[in-house]
Amino acid sequence: MNLLVTGAAGFIGAALAHRLLDRGDTVVGLDNLNDYYEVSLKEARLARLAARPGFRFVRLDLADRAGMRTLFAGERFDAVAHLAAQAGVRYSLKNPDAYVDSNLVGFGNVLEGCRHTRVGHLVYASSSSVYGLNAKMPFSEEDSVDHPVSLYAATKKANELMAHVYSHLYALPTTGLRFFTVYGPWGRPDMSPYLFIRAMLAGEPIKVFNHGEMLRDFTYVDDIVEGVVRVIDRPPSSGDASLLDSPATSTAPYRVYNIGNSQPVRLLDYIATFERALGVKAKLDLQPMQPGDVVATAADTTALERAVGFRPSTPLAVGVQRFVDWYREFYKVPASRG
């Protein structure tokens, strides 16, 4: 297939592009290379992709309506994997405009491009953050997601609603994937693996919010990518009225799935996994809960397993060790330091 992967210089987008190229697809990678985090890391990811046949990079901002219209008209994509977004819960408290421009305006431009060029399937990144104040565990797609606690989460719920409208009005097949705390090699520097390893190797304390009493469903990036690829190949079809009983399905060709490891880990146990992988004892700076955060996330992935026959399986210790090994190699950190 000829696919568009937005956010191709990003963590998950780059990994997905490699996986699609591995199986023989043609990939157009889109990214605006913004400076939310170090651009050099994004460029390094792109350099690996640029060396591969079948990949072409387009530097473009999602909010550029004319540019997006031209891109879609010129390429005629079979499917779109939309992973570009302004990420980060805490950053949304500081720079809300970035979330409106990228996650709302940008997503609208993607939907319009798919609609007018009859793209066969739009798969887009939602987030476990949409569950907000939900207390029932594990989180199920059957649950209401009406109480987000960050603008980032609100934009992701808005994406799901916008996608449903286009599925209903224009028969555009759309699938939203609620990612649960993705980690692994080539990850984002604003996320906990980077923050922990940098502080630990420097002998500095790491900030531990809610005094460590948090649970997260950490999901290894290769598992996420495998799930995305399988979903791309299974566009939803229209269904009967009974599908309206669930917020994750519809009479329109629309679906939403959780994709997570289904094994939530206590934050202090997560830190201990890094201690073992590095051979370094962490210094903890225990802090209160941060605005916009949630205490726990845990994924019920039954629906995804039923739909595409896949469930993430990489153990946390294995995934963390792979990240640590990659970090040492990429940043040239001698093993003797840890």
Catalytic center residues: 152
Instruction: Please give the Cα distance from 128 to 256 (Å, whole number).
Output: 11
Tokens 């990518």 map to which residue?
A: 225
- Residue 16 corresponds to which tokens in the numbers above? 């997905």
Tell me the β-bridge partners of 257. 177
Catalogue the E-assigned strands of the chain.
Answer: 2-6, 26-31, 55-59, 79-82, 122-127, 174-179, 182-183, 205-209, 215-216, 219-220, 254-259, 265-266, 283-287
User: Exposure string (b/e) for 291-304, b if CB count within 10 Å is 16 or more?
Assistant: ebebebbbbbbbbb
Q: Distance (Å, rounded) from C-alpha 252 to C-alpha 264?
A: 33
> By C-alpha distance, which of 188, 207, 186, 185 is closest to 196?
207
